[in-house]
A and B are shown apart, each in its own frame.
Chain A
Amino acid sequence: MLISNLELIPGKKIVQHLGLVQGSTVRAKHVGRDIMAGLKNVFGGELKGYTELLEDSRKEALQRIEQQAAAIGANAVINVRFSTSSVAQGASEIFVYGTAVILE
């Protein structure tokens, strides 16, 4: 599955548009990481635990968008956008959306 945030794929032709596909995950941080983050909030610096957590959830959202696109018979998702929002204190939602297309 080809995933891209361009509107056209260079060197390839779009045969058919299949409409919007989306994937999202809501994740919460766990307590151990919260304690580490509390310490880091004093010293400053990167919160590696959170970076990994968000990377994992982004991968999962991308997997979901791929599944959804494959289910409607697409072989690529173009014009992909990411969006993050905090749903509740300590939990955030990662949302990915794009256009499913069939490439030549």
Chain B
Amino acid sequence: MDSFFGLISFVVLMLLGYFFGSVAEKKHYQSILKREAELRHIVVIPQRFPRVANVTESFLVTGSVVISVDYFKRFLATLRMLFGGRLTSYESLLDRARREAILRLQAQAQSHNAKYVYNLKFETSSISKGQKDRVGSIEVLAYGTALVCS
């Protein structure tokens, strides 16, 4: 009887994870694409030495996000780990997190009227290891120096 309830809750969690997770991911990608188009005029480059004239102000800008993978994808990844190979479900998670972090950095630069962000760096860390050392959620931080030009 116990194992029966265990199975039921597993199936329910899988369905919930699959449904809500794929809806959330689709929505997130839509909003990422929309905001990327809006913020494209703010140049973000990982170059260390800026070649910009007439800089009036420069300051640090950061953008960070903590994002979690859903139950269904985590299960798929665990299965995948038996055979090895690409973990596509985690790839999209990291892609979303990085792009979101850049967008937040750009938004912060825009609110201070900066046009350029130089020396972009990324910092990635896993927040909760979850059970059995599986990746639960990851944090991505993007930071750089925003330049305001006259």
Contacts and interface: CB of A to CB of B under 8 A. Distances in A.
A43 B147 contact: no
Given A43-B70, A50-B137, A82-B141, A2 B58 contact: yes
Most buried by B among A54, A58, A81: A54
Q: How large is the interface on A (under 10, 10 to 19, 20 to 34, 35 or more residues)?
A: 35 or more
A16 interface: no
Given A5-B121, A42-B13, A44-B25, A58 B68 contact: no
Contacts of B123: 82-84
Contact of B60 (A54, A55, A80): A80
A58 B59 contact: no
Most buried by B among A3, A7, A43, A58: A43
A54 B68 CA distance: 15
Contact of A8 (B49, B71, B139): B49
Given A11-B56, A41-B136, A42-B16, A4 B67 contact: no
Contacts, number: 128
Interface in B46-74: 48-50, 52, 54-56, 58-60, 62, 64-71, 73-74
Contact of A4 (B59, B127, B130): B59
A81 B24 CA distance: 32
A9 B118 CA distance: 11
Interface string B136-147: 110101011101
A57 to B, nearest CB: 11
By secondary structure, the A interface counts as: mixed
Interface residues of B, number: 48
Interface stretch (A17-25, A67-75, A85-93): A85-93
Given A42-B16, A42-B17, A43-B20, A6 B119 contact: yes
B137 A41 contact: yes
A3 B16 CA distance: 45
Given A41-B130, A51-B65, A85 B58 contact: no
Given A43-B24, A43-B71, 15 more contacts: A4-B59, A8-B49, A37-B137, A41-B70, A41-B137, A42-B17, A47-B68, A48-B66, A50-B137, A54-B139, A62-B60, A82-B123, A84-B125, A84-B141, A90-B128
Interface of A: 2-11, 37, 40-48, 50-51, 54-55, 58, 62, 80-86, 89-90, 92
